């Protein structure tokens, strides 16, 4: 709604989400006694089992499956539509219509003015300048604001016959105050729940006027609702950081704006005075029965005798369980809501499963025995059970219909809500099927309940959902009771839907009320809210599975531990990427399974989407512009800043797109496969599935036009239910080195193909060097290490690609799943071991260690020589005259791993700055310097650390030095601020020689990382043959 006023949100100006990842915004850290309750899971201890590699078996060679393409995806979508079409059917007999409904879709709308505060009667009469809008209608202004919606409707005499008249609003964001014909009818707070008011007494035949006053506020976590001092200001709006968004590029496209409006249907409905208010069918699968919880509403002031009958049919299959079954009620219906629980048997039920989502339909008929008026309502339901076992060890296993299940899914932020708001039911169906094609079995409805149509479609298509209560970080102290009330509304919204298997209360709670305990609940108080919410949730649904927290920044909490992890984007967030790859996880309370509710990285929209939708000022308009253009020009994009952590700066629009998407796919695969191997990780959700708008939140793996990014296919493959996997800590080798790669089978199913075998092969530049086979050990709903693939890396005459492949093959020889690992092999080079390096520093320091690794002669004193290696600047200052004199005469002096601070080297000021966002796994060789000639874009990435025995970061600080030439580049900045290019390694001429600074850690890396070794030799002038 581009016509709506709005202001730039703080989340876009300050990049609150990067700051949250840094925990800079969180205030004081968890108390020590809380940390003492946590323990970091370590990698699973593997058996000393080795796959046979002694001989080559030509019959074990297999052809890998072809990669899925965009065209394949469309064909698979067509197939899935056919598969699930039977489950979309409505085969239950249509009940008699007992209500008359009048949709209200056109309203006049305007923002409140200061004059309105003195003349509310004028608003009721329609005074002022109004804009005609269609419902649903959603957008700005943000923060403290008031808007008005006004319309008229004509009531016929027939509408008054049934006995009562209600105005119904399915969803208004945020507070609604309703007036009919100038009379105040009622109010409602909260954006997601439907509400209605009886207007029988104030409506009349002919024209009637409906006015809805809508109030917005800042959210509990804060936004720039008012004030010009750059701070976030908290309000009382129970809203997290996701919403449907609106079509406005600066704010509305981004998933976070806490807008306002009437974004769901509005209608006037005539009903009998005694009518069905709500229906919930509680399935009791183990007992082969169910309970119909039927709420009957009476507008009469006195008690009324009623009769209640129910029928149960198959909804998407033909069956009549029973029909017009009458129940003896405990008494007459009183004024308002009456609650009845009616049990019934469901012998040999058709069970709701994700692959076969069978649904029943209950039809309830209530009759006023005095007047004879009757009302009929329906409810679809599924016979299924979902439980979280908190008694066995480890606690937290999930069971669907009595069988263990692992949740694999994605976060959602608006696309499915936009489908409903646009009434695009085919797109909603396809979006759900695209998730299933990606091997997801659930969606996290991130940080908000959604429209009921979404749950209904997920019911029919067999996709599970987790619904989040709309809290992020904090809960305002004065909103405790309101939050409990809305938690009850949330459960009432979702409880009838078999798809919804769990709910949560808060996303990423911060310690100590985000450092403002005078504004927000502290953690003990927040857990009191959890307890109160549990009570009201289970009052409405005793069987609800509750995961109190998604992404806990102040653990431990009740129930399943869940942490968010963006270590492949927000560098080091949660756990370092190298440690995650080896099998570590964040500290949790002991004895539990655990989940990761968010992970991912940004991948830019494709160029065609950018050119089609983006404002022109965001994009380069010429080839010359592209040379210096940065994604920083795109509102809310993070790639321009954070790419320094992961990949090289690009110089074309297409280059930026390709590099960002390649990285996103790499991180997606690496992290998802690590989660699959971890037998204790039973719930994961990538952030994010589909963008609701262009530039919505580009961590999405599918863009607004439903074009898959490479990360979609990477995620799909890594989520293959029965999967083979290869893991390593090393991606480069010298010829002749021992190769060790782990082989795994990960099975999320309860199916084990008989007589299946593992086949594995090693290829050098595409030619098979070794192939073998072994019987597969396939677990059930678990992951199992199959053994180490050990062999000596073959001789190569040049840098070569070694591909390790692994396949699971069934008894008929069909490849069920295969995977590959691409490694780089370098020829073993001899060094000039007669080379002498003069060390300026400690005899036990990094310089000596590096020299010894390279096998050169070391001198700790005496003449400077032609190569000087310095790891102690204080020692250099004592010998600076001799060192600089040697350099002037042609020597090379290399400073390694200088500590952050200010230095003077040969009268040049040099500043060493610690890396913002922590130590790095990547530096760029894209400098044109002779020392990096021949290296490839990802050669300086993800280096093995022999001391740690896994991959660790190797860049702790960057260099600022005027007049120094770049050898290696990086960038520096902070979590939420501006970033600038920075040097990682640099040199300057000094006389006939060279002064060099190298911040990437080479000591401890050169024995097992050929790139590090080659670079170190070039840096020190050591000849290699």
Instruction: Tell me the fold of 100-269.
Output: Jelly Rolls (2.60.120)
β-strand partners of 763? 768, 803
Is residue 13's pLDDT more than 90?
Answer: no
In angstroms, the CA 190 to CA 90 distance is 32
* Residue partners of 625: CB distance under 8 A and separation at least 6: none
Is residue 264's pLDDT more than 80?
Answer: yes
Task: Delimit the domains of the chain by residue range.
Answer: 88-96+273-381, 100-269, 423-560, 722-730+740-826, 836-1020
3-class secondary structure, 1006:
coil
Q: How confident is the model at residue 5 (pLDDT cuts 50, 70, 90)?
A: very low
Q: Within 411-560, where are the H helices?
A: 415-421, 425-437, 452-461, 480-494, 512-515, 523-540
* Phi and psi torsions of 380, nearest 5°: -80, 150
In angstroms, the CA 160 to CA 604 distance is 56
In angstroms, the CA 847 to CA 831 distance is 17
In angstroms, the CA 369 to CA 386 distance is 39
Q: What is the pLDDT of residues 117-130, one digit of tens each?
A: 999 999 999 999 99
> Is the CATH number 1.10.357.10 carried by domain 722-730+740-826?
no
Is residue 672's pLDDT more than 50?
Answer: yes
CA angle, residues 93, 96, 99, in degrees to nearest 5? 135
The secondary structure of residue 505, as a DSSP letter, is S
Q: Is the peptide bond before 136 cis (omega within 30 degrees of 0)?
A: yes
Residues 668, 711: contact at Cβ < 8 Å? yes
Paired tokens of 67: 């990669």
Cβ count near 456 (within 10 Å): 16
Is residue 6's pLDDT more than 80?
Answer: no
3-class secondary structure, 637:
coil
Instruction: Tell me the fold of 836-1020.
Output: Rossmann fold (3.40.50)
Q: How confident is the model at residue 292 (pLDDT cuts 50, 70, 90)?
A: very high
Q: From 698, 601, 696, select the one nearest 646 (Cα to Cα).
A: 601
Q: How confident is the model at residue 833 (pLDDT cuts 50, 70, 90)?
A: confident
- What's the CATH number of domain 423-560, 3.20.20.80, 3.40.50.620, 2.40.50.140, 3.40.640.10? 3.20.20.80
Average pLDDT, the chain: 95
pLDDT, position 877: 96
Domain 88-96+273-381 in CATH: superfamily? Answer: Immunoglobulins (2.60.40.10)
Is residue 573's pLDDT more than 90?
Answer: yes
Q: How confident is the model at residue 9 (pLDDT cuts 50, 70, 90)?
A: very low
Q: Exposed (0-12), middle (13-18) or buried (19+): which is 769, by Cβ within 10 Å?
A: middle
Paired tokens of 667: 């991180």
pLDDT, position 8: 37
In angstroms, the CA 147 to CA 140 distance is 9
Q: How confident is the model at residue 23 (pLDDT cuts 50, 70, 90)?
A: low
pLDDT, position 367: 98
Is residue 1003's pLDDT more than 80?
Answer: yes
Separation of CA 90 from chain center: 34
> Fold match between 88-96+273-381 and 423-560?
no
pLDDT, position 25: 38
pLDDT, position 36: 87
């Amino acid at each position: 709604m581009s016509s709506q006023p709005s202001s730039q949100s703080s989340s876009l100006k300050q990049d609150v989400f990067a700051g949250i990842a840094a925990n800079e915004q969180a205030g004081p850290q968890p108390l020590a006694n809380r940390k003492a309750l946590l323990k970091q899971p370590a990698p699973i201890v593997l058996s000393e089992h080795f796959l046979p590699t002694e001989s080559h078996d030509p019959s074990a060679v297999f052809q890998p499956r072809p990669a899925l393409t965009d065209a394949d995806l469309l064909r698979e979508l067509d197939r899935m539509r056919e598969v699930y079409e039977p489950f979309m059917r409505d085969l239950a007999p249509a009940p008699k219509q007992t209500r008359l409904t009048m949709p209200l879709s056109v309203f006049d709308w305007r923002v409140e003015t200061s004059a309105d505060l003195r003349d509310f009667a004028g608003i009721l009469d329609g005074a002022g300048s109004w804009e005609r809008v269609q419902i649903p209608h959603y957008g700005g202004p943000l923060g403290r604001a008031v808007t008005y919606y006004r319309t008229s409707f004509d009531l016929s005499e027939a509408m008054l016959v049934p006995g009562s008249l209600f105005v119904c609003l399915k969803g208004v964001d945020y507070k609604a105050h309703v007036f009919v014909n100038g009379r105040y009818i009622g109010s409602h707070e909260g954006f997601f729940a439907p509400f209605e008011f009886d207007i029988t007494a104030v409506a009349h035949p002919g024209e009637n006027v409906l006015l809805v006053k809508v109030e917005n506020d800042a959210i509990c976590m804060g936004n720039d609702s008012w004030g010009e001092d750059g701070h976030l200001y908290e309000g009382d709006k129970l809203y997290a950081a996701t919403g449907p968004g609106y079509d406005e590029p600066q704010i509305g496209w981004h998933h976070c704006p806490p807008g306002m409006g009437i974004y769901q249907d509005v209608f006037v409905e005539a009903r009998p005075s005694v009518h069905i208010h709500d229906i919930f069918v509680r399935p009791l699968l183990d007992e082969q029965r169910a309970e119909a919880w039927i709420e009957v509403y009476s507008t009469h002031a006195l008690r009324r005798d009623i009769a209640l009958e129910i029928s149960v049919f198959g909804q998407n299959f033909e069956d009549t369980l029973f029909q017009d079954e009458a129940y003896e009620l405990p008494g007459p219906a009183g004024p308002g809501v009456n609650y009845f629980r009616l049990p019934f048997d469901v012998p040999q039920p058709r069970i709701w499963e994700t692959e076969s989502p069978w649904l029943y339909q209950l039809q309830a008929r209530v009759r006023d025995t005095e007047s004879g008026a009757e009302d009929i309502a329906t409810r679809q339901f599924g016979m299924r059970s979902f439980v979280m076992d908190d008694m066995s060890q480890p606690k937290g296993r999930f069971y669907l219909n009595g069988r263990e299940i692992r949740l694999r899914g994605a976060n959602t932020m608006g696309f499915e809500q936009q489908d409903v708001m646009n009434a695009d039911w085919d797109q909603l169906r396809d979006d759900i099927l695209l998730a299933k094609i990606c091997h997801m079995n659930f969606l996290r409805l991130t940080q908000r309940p959604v429209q009921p149509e979404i749950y209904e479609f997920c019911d029919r298509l067999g996709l599970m959902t987790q619904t989040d209560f709309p809290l992020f970080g904090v809960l305002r102290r004065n909103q405790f009771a309101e939050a409990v009330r809305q938690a009850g509304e949330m459960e009432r919204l979702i409880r009838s839907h078999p798809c919804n298997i769990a709910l949560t209360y808060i996303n990423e709670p911060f310690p100590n009320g985000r450092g403002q305990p005078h504004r927000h609940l502290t953690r003990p108080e927040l857990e009191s809210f959890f307890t109160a919410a549990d009570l009201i949730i289970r009052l409405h649904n005793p069987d609800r599975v509750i995961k109190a927290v998604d992404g806990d920044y102040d653990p431990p909490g009740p129930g399943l531990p869940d942490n968010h992890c963006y270590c492949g984007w927000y560098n080091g967030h949660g756990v370092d990427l190298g440690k995650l790859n080896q099998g570590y996880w964040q500290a949790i309370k002991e004895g539990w399974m655990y989940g990761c509710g968010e992970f991912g990285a940004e991948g830019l929209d494709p160029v065609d989407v950018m050119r089609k939708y983006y404002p022109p000022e965001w994009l380069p308009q010429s080839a010359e512009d592209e040379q210096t253009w940065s994604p920083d020009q795109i509102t809310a994009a993070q790639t321009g800043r954070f790419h320094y952590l992961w990949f090289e700066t690009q110089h074309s629009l297409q280059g930026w797109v390709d590099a960002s998407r390649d990285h996103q796919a790499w991180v997606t695969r690496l992290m998802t496969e690590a989660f699959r191997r971890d037998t204790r990780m039973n719930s994961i959700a990538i952030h994010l599935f589909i963008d609701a708008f262009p530039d919505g939140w580009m961590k999405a793996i599918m863009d607004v036009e439903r074009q898959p990014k490479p990360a979609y296919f990477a995620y799909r493959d890594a989520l293959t239910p029965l999967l083979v996997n290869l893991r390593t800590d090393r991606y480069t080798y010298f010829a002749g080195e021992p190769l060790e790669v782990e082989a795994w089978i990960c099975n999320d199913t309860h199916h084990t193909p008989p007589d299946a075998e593992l086949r594995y092969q090693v290829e050098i530049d595409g030619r098979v060097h070794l192939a073998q086979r072994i019987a597969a050990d396939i677990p059930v709903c678990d992951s199992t290490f199959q053994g180490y693939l050990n062999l000596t890396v073959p001789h190569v005459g040049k840098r070569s690609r070694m591909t390790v492949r692994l396949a699971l093959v069934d008894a008929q020889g069909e490849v069920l799943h295969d995977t590959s690992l691409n490694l780089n092999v370098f020829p073993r080079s001899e060094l000039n071991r007669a080379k002498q390096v003069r060390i300026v520093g400690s005899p036990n320091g990094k310089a000596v260690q590096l020299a010894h690794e390279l096998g050169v002669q070391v001198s700790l004193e005496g003449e400077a020589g032609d190569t000087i290696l310095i790891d102690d600047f204080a020692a250099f200052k004592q010998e600076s005259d001799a060192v600089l004199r040697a350099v002037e005469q042609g020597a090379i002096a290399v400073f390694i791993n200088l500590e952050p601070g200010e230095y003077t080297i040969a009268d040049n000021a040099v500043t060493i700055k610690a890396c913002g966002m922590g130590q790095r796994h990547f530096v760029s060789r894209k400098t044109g310097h002779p020392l990096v000639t021949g290296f490839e874009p990802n050669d300086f990435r993800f280096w093995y650390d022999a001391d740690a025995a896994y991959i660790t970061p190797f860049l702790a600080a960057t260099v600022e030095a005027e007049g120094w030439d770049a050898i290696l580049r990086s960038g520096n900045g902070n979590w939420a601020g501006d970033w600038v290019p920075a040097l990682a390694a640099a040199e300057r001429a000094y006389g006939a020689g060279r002064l060099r600074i190298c911040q990437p850690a080479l000591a401890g890396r050169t024995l097992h990382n050929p790139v590090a070794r080659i670079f170190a030799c070039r840096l020190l002038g050591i000849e290699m043959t």
